[in-house]
Structure 1
């Protein structure tokens, strides 16, 4: 969006009429808006408020000085200096252009009163405290003004003025960007919500399936005559028992031992060494849990000498375990009893 800057031009008027016109020309040719005290009745105190308002609305301030101090107010302060002081107080970037002392200048365009000369020197010294250029004639002033303004535009960018239509278009574009960003954020939240809701619904469905499917377990004691019937438990109870161990990975041998000891209550030392739980029961159990996408064969690499078969939780299996543990913790907390309960019947889960 292209901004047009308002530049306030201040100087004594009669002695610098032609030079002011050149400064105004430079500003106009750059595509910006010149404004100055010649548009008002500077000697009228009621107009001073209008001048101040124009300076307030200006983006940059230019003061041009030669050898005249200019018309003064009732306090003896020239209106040029008064405008300059006000621009400084409002922190408007100022550019000073002072006639070079060695430049030829008509005598009739110079002050002869000693008091005015002293005040003019004091004013010039004040202007020199800010960026200032020394000019020798009108054409020199015109060129220096154009260069100084370009530098000021880059060094001290200001708000400027724009067409109302440009502001509206920009405002509409910003609103579109804002709404687009807001829409993207809402879509992301909705997707997250739907994903969470989808997982929750899937967990509820799998839990219901696990609770309605029973598994008959068996075990073989050390020195025993053969397989003995163990407890009949739900798939839910078996998963809750094995899942914590499956978070990393668990061997088929250890799964067999865990079922025999924790489900059927047989001491580990009383179990036969090889397959205390039937291998076909284990295969069936793992096949059911895999069908529900809760477990999978472990992908971790093993030494060549390791012949064990390992299983681990899937991502969904880990989410299911987390939900089951939360339910158990909430139940125990409501009972005021946070110690671990054995998985012996489903009412505990």
Structure 2
């Protein structure tokens, strides 16, 4: 039996007219039913009840976020965010699409008021706490939305709608049996994925705790002070050292350059050009990071004449670096908000 699914499309309106049209087009091309807030007056509280009733009946909810927060309710929350929160409360599968910060965008379609910018930043963090797609243009959004909806339908099939003339007793029973079996299988797969994700989260947190708890006394030779007896040592955590060197090990980095990365953060650009950090110290640090399964010898091939040793991040190492960077980015947003409020 052919099912049609209702997809609610939520976003600010005037700045995303063309983008919404592309998403509506994608829903129709796939043979499903788009539902949009342009059908209602979002500022009318009575109409909000109609919108809420629509969300109660939809199969999937798509939110598109660009550079405007939009109109707000008397309680101070944007209508788009209110729709988003309500869909989550009702357990509707969410398809999130946030504009890539590097994408070109007209200034007249961006928030200019500080309060609205702060609300938008907070809303983006909320949306990005779940799996989202980043888009850069209406055509890019069209393609990513189509793929995302197809995956949602396959991985999380909903009730949907079926023509009455397609429903017969035997076929319904057969379909229900198939869906029940499929649902059980999908639940089992989701549970496995969730357990794997939980395990990974635990591994990341454990690694960060160990890195933060271990301290090192490190110093670097400089061009002004090339002798080790003149070096000033500083106490840093292994977490600091990992963060200094990890971003240059996403592909690979040599042991010598890893030492220079550490020296740069200890002494700035005046570090000695040849082994500013003791070779044995770099080896010791790499051994500790390898023991935590954060780094490993690079698998890339090099010429026979290249005798340097190269290191790369492991999968766990990349996840730990990602967590470090995410926290720094979120702290940057919070610091910006605090600064703005005190000005």
More helix by share: 2
Q: Greater CA radius of gyration, 1 or 2?
A: 1
TM-score (normalised: structure 2): 0.50
TM-score (normalised: structure 1): 0.49
